[in-house]
Chain A
Amino acid sequence: MLAKFTSFLLLGIVRLLTGAQARWHGCPPKAEQRIYFANHQSHVDLILIWAALPTELRSITRPIAAKDYWANSRFKRWLTSAVFNAIYVDRSRTKDEHGVEQDPLEPLVDALQSGDSIILFPEGTRGFAPEPQPFKAGLYNLALQFPQVVLVPTWIHNVQRVMPKGEVIPVPVLCSVTFGTPMQLEPGEERRAFLDRARLNVMALRDI
């Protein structure tokens, strides 16, 4: 109940501040299993994509949140798990009690196996520069494991102006989320080549 109210409130605030406009440029909003991968510049990114998705898709799409940041206080953990139904990822590789190194992708693999769509920021962290940093390997590994899942490049426009790194109060600036043409892992494609192509596909949406 409280989670529902919070999500309603957050949606209202995000719409008032940013307009939260979705632009389905390369594909329609559709209830198929997808990985949305986007540039990452602000904490608002996650909420913005989430707000831009239609209600039906929002309930089957789970964002990825860094465990070290989003689960380090009770409120943040409640917000990300109850409201956004987020999947936590360890940014640092940890070992379990048997000394076996954990695969940070495991929670994502679980989510994809159960049929959810996910929102991924392949840069791994928020950037300052106008261009996204090189993508990390996670996207490639997931694409390799789940060839049937549709990969949708996504560009978030303007959001770094709403809340630059280090600020806590957002200012109203119109933002939009552009969803591009889905891409696929070509047979035998190298990891680096694929990741660079994915990054270029995301960046190409900037000027549309």
Chain B
Amino acid sequence: MTHIPALRLGRPYESLDKIGLKDSIATVSQVNAGIIHKDLQKIAASRAALKKFSFAQLIELCGRAGDIFLNANDPQHYVETLSATSGLPHVLVRRNMQRIHGMLANMGQVLRGLTRGLDLDDKTSPYCFNPATDCLGLVMPSNSPAVNSLWLPAIALRIPVIIKPGRDEPWTPYRLIQSFIAAGIPAEAFGFYPTDHEGADTILRLCGRALVFGDKSTTDKYAGNPAIQTHGPGYSKVLIGADQIERWPEFLDVLVDSIAANSGRSCLCASTIVVPSYADEIADALAKRLGPIAPMPPEDENASLSAFANPRMAEAIDAGIEQGLATPGAVDVTAQYRGGPRLVNFQGGTYLRPVIVRCDSFAHPLANKEYLFPYAGIVEVSQGKMLEQIGSSLVVTAITRDECWIEQLMESSHIERLNIGPISTMKISWHQPHEGNLFEFLYKRRAFERI
């Protein structure tokens, strides 16, 4: 059986406590909080090891690591094991790999985007920046491999990472770390600590800067702490303006991709569609496209639905939707095209088939929900009231050419990332910060003069 050790600033550590992954595919060492605390006392040496490299060298090594990640060390085995433990079909794992590879291959562009074009190696630059921390702590989720692309720039920015992997997804961060080390990045720049809540809390408390992923209760706990960036539900949305709504059939592909790409397992995926009219027609058209999607064998190239690593989560989501539908004002439009239940078992996996719920207002409990599968509520709201109703949204794609409304969208503090035009919420540009600006999180700019 495969064993994944902890990595204590690069040094493999096999603990006595191990957890087993699904179907005994692998065991993962578990460390206690004290070990993390102990290692963090030596973190300055890890950062010193990264500082021996110029930023340009690190960018080059990132590119090399990306190639190793994508092509070396039996990638097919990685695809199969990750698919088996996470439920992602092979094709989606490969797509996630491509996304991670893209981030590493384009690290120069990514850093230019994050720093707004700063030449980090130019010591004569009038802009000076100093690190806000010796390391970046990460409490990762299990939902999707590409989420790891968020921390990759830290290495190019000379900041070591202290990672608590998601319980069911140690594979990707572990493989990434191995790829970085093989590419020539010092091993001591990487802490990989499968651990419990106390260990996660230690990472968040003691790393000068940290990212935490989780549900609303997790992110609420750390909201307002400037050293911790929270990544919870995205509540991403597609809005169609009154000027474009008559053309709605042309935007169906964008809507479908926004809702269902990556099996809906991303905070970037749209979970609400907001339109000024034609909500019934659009809901029906989306349901016709998404409703028939059914589980397929993981190795099937056409598979687009992921199984749930934890079947109880799927059951709870299904029950939650059922409960929501009991509140008047919502209809599961996909039901008629699904021809069966939402919750299904297929070849030993538990799946939720796509759901489009037509809600009569934003106030309905199913209108602004986010789940780990292709799900969206569709609501009819007049354009003038959309911005006051959508609430906090990680990504908003607004399909409009109405400059006056675009101006209002640009001003909105509820929207973290804004796409104007028929752009999938899932689209990522390397030169744009993905979620928060990691450079500004890890470094502080300061005034600087030197004679």
Task: Specify whether A and B are partners.
Answer: no
